[in-house]
Chain A
Amino acid sequence: MFGKTVKELGDALRRKEFSSTELTTAYLEHSKALNKEVNAFITFDEEQTLAQAKLADEILSTDNATALTGIPIAHKDIWCAKDWITTCGSRMLENFRSPYDAHIIKRFKECGAVTLGKTNMDEFAMGSSNETSWFGNVKNPWDLGRVPGGSSGGSAAAVAADMTPASTGTDTGGSIRQPAALCGISGLKPTYGLVSRYGMIAFASSLDQGGPMAKSAEDLAILLEAMVSFDDKDSTSLEKPTVHYSSMINKSVKGLRIGIPKEYFSDEIAPDIQNGVQDALKEYEKLGAKLVDINLPTSPLSVAAYYVIAPAEASSNLSRFDGVRYGYRAPNYSDLNDMYAKTRAQGFGAEVKRRILIGTYVLSHGYYDAYYLKAQKVRRLISQDFAHAFKTCDMIMSPTTPSTAFKIGEKVSDPVQMYLSDTFTIAANLAGLPAMSIPCGLDRNQLPIGLQLIGNYFDEAGMIAAAHQYQCATDWHLKKPPLHNV
Chain B
Amino acid sequence: MEWEIVIGIETHVQLSTESKIFSGASTDFGAMPNAHACEVDLALPGVLPVLNKDAVEKAIRFGVATQATINQRSIFARKNYFYPDLPKGYQISQMEIPVVEGGTIKFHVAESEKTVNLTRAHLEEDAGKSLHEDFIDMSGIDLNRAGTPLLEIVSEPEMRSSNEAVEYAKTLHSLVRWIGICDGNMQEGNFRCDANVSVRRKGDKTLGTRREIKNLNSFKFLQQAIEYEARWQIEQIEDGLAIVQATVLFDPDSGETRLMRTKEDAHDYRYFPDPDLLPLVIDDDWLKTTRASLPELPKSKARRYQDDLELSGPDVASLVSSLEAATYFEATLNHFDVSGIKPAAKSIANWMNGELTASLNRSQKDFSQCPISPETLSVLIKRVLDNTLSTKLARLVFEELWSGDSTVDDIILKKGFKQMSDSGEIESFVSQVIEQHPQQVADFKAGKEKALNSLVGQVMKLTKGKANPTQVNEILKSKLS
Contacts and interface: CB of A to CB of B under 8 A. Distances in A.
Interface in A74-120: 79-80, 86, 88, 93, 96, 98-100, 102
Contact of B270 (A88, A322, A360): A360
B48 A233 contact: yes
Contact of B50 (A102, A232, A312, A364): A232
B44 A326 contact: yes
Nearest to A327: B45
Given A199-B46, A319-B90, A368 B277 contact: no
Contacts of A199: 46-47
A236 B277 CA distance: 7
B45 A86 contact: yes
A324 B139 CA distance: 10
Given A93-B45, A320-B88, A235 B82 contact: no
Interface string A307-324: 000001101101111101
Contacts of A206: 275
Contact of B268 (A318, A325, A364): A364
Nearest to A376: B273
Contact of A325 (B42, B50, B276, B277): B42
B51 interface: yes
Nearest to A366: B268
Contacts of B84: 322, 324, 336
A201 interface: yes
A135 interface: no
A438 B207 CA distance: 66
A365 interface: yes
Interface in B313-353: none
Contact of B45 (A96, A322, A336, A340): A96
Contact of B44 (A100, A312, A315, A363): A100
Contact of B46 (A102, A235, A312, A363): A102
Contacts of A205: 275-276
A368 B273 CA distance: 12
Given A80-B46, A365-B270, 16 more contacts: A96-B45, A197-B46, A197-B48, A205-B275, A206-B275, A234-B50, A235-B49, A318-B89, A320-B89, A322-B82, A324-B84, A324-B87, A325-B43, A325-B87, A340-B82, A365-B268
A321 B272 CA distance: 19
Nearest to B268: A365
Given A319-B90, A340-B82, A324 B141 contact: yes
Q: Give chain B's interface residue range (CB within 8 Å of chain A).
A: 20 to 34
Residue from the set B47, B84, B88, B271 with the largest chain A CB neighbour count within 10 Å = B47
A96 B42 CA distance: 14
B42 to A, nearest CB: 6
B418 interface: no
A41 interface: no
Residue from the set A99, A198, A320 with the largest chain B CB neighbour count within 10 Å = A320
A96 B51 CA distance: 27
A313 B88 CA distance: 13
10 contacts: A80-B44, A88-B45, A98-B44, A99-B39, A202-B45, A233-B50, A234-B48, A315-B80, A363-B271, A368-B272
Contacts, number: 96
Nearest to A93: B45
Nearest to A78: B46
Contact of A363 (B47, B51, B270): B270
Contacts of A80: 44-46
B46 A322 contact: no
A100 B39 contact: yes
B90 A316 contact: yes
A249 to B, nearest CB: 31
B205 to A, nearest CB: 28
Given A316-B80, A322-B82, A324-B141, A235 B45 contact: no
Given A236-B276, A312-B272, A325-B43, A320 B87 contact: yes
Given A235-B51, A319-B80, A319-B88, A98 B45 contact: yes
A235 B90 contact: no
A198 B44 contact: no
A102 to B, nearest CB: 6
B78 interface: yes
Contacts of A325: 42-43, 87, 141
Interface residues of A, number: 44
B278 interface: yes
Contacts of A326: 42, 44
Interface in A324-376: 324-326, 336, 340, 360, 363-365, 368, 372
A465 interface: no
Nearest to A196: B48
A322 B275 CA distance: 21
Contacts of B50: 232-235
Interface string B200-240: 00000000000000000000000000000000000000000
Interface string A233-251: 1111000000000000000
Interface in A200-225: 200-202, 204-206
A114 B294 CA distance: 53
Contact of B275 (A86, A313, A340): A313
Nearest to A324: B84
Q: Which 5 A-B pairs have the closest CB atoms?
A: A319-B89, A206-B275, A205-B275, A363-B270, A199-B46
A324 to B, nearest CB: 5
Interface string A421-464: 00000000000000000000000000000000000000000000
A198 B46 contact: yes
A91 B464 CA distance: 89
Contacts of A322: 82, 84, 89
Contacts of B82: 319, 322, 340
Given A99-B39, A324-B84, A372 B272 contact: yes
Contacts of B80: 315-316, 319, 363
Contacts of A364: 268, 270
B16 to A, nearest CB: 23
A88 B51 CA distance: 27
A339 to B, nearest CB: 9
A234 B272 CA distance: 19
A197 B80 CA distance: 22
A316 B270 contact: yes
Given A340-B82, A365-B268, A372-B272, A320 B48 contact: no
A320 B43 contact: yes
B46 A202 contact: yes
Contacts of B43: 320, 325
A8 B39 CA distance: 39
Interface string B259-291: 000000000101110011110000000000000
A422 B119 CA distance: 46
A99 B44 contact: yes
Contacts of A321: 45
A312 B270 CA distance: 10
A321 B46 CA distance: 12
A234 B40 CA distance: 12
B82 to A, nearest CB: 6
A144 B49 CA distance: 42
Residue from the set A88, A96, A315, A322 with the largest chain B CB neighbour count within 10 Å = A322
A235 B277 contact: yes
B149 to A, nearest CB: 16
Contact of B78 (A235, A316, A318): A316
